[in-house]
Amino acid sequence: MTGHYNPNNEIHKKVKAEIEFGGGFSDVRTTRQCLDALKFAGFEVIWEKDLAADSPVPWYLPLDTSRFSITSFRLTAVGRFITRSMVKTLEFVGIAPTGSHRVSSFLEKAAEAIETGGRMEIFTPMYFFLVRKSLSDH
């Protein structure tokens, strides 16, 4: 979660919870919490940056269901509907294992939350840090 994330904002909390559920995470930490944990573990932070901040193209664009593209058709609203229908049918006839539709649904919900979090600038998958452990700690 970026510095724009507000733990007191109900919408932010909902988006975070959906990202965590769909990604199988127990708690997505803020970039500040990550830095604090690195320092607490004895690392020296050389450099850190959210690389999404300077990107000329939003990182979440491929998850945007309102955009139509032949190469990303499966990610469009129509493509997701077709995928949902196929998975449900394959599960019904026994080709796909029981629970496939449920898994597909929560992964889709997570993708929507990730895209929403990106648009709101409260979530980033592009946080990078370079750290080193001091030689005296070896």
Each residue of 53-91: pLDDT tens digit? 988 989 988 787 776 666 667 777 778 888 889 999 999
Specify the pLDDT at position 69. 65
Does residue 3 form part of some domain? no
Does residue 5 form part of some domain? no
Does residue 88 form part of some domain? yes
| Backbone angle region of 99, left / alpha / beta, with phi > 0 → left and psi within -120 to 50 → alpha | left
Does residue 2 form part of some domain? no
Domain limits for position 61: 10-137
How far is Cα 123 from Cα 18, in angstroms, rounded to an integer? Answer: 12
Q: How confident is the model at residue 96 (pLDDT cuts 50, 70, 90)?
A: very high
Does residue 1 form part of some domain? no
| Residue 96 vs residue 67, higher pLDDT | 96
Task: State the total domains in the chain.
Answer: 1
138 pLDDT above the threshold of 70: no
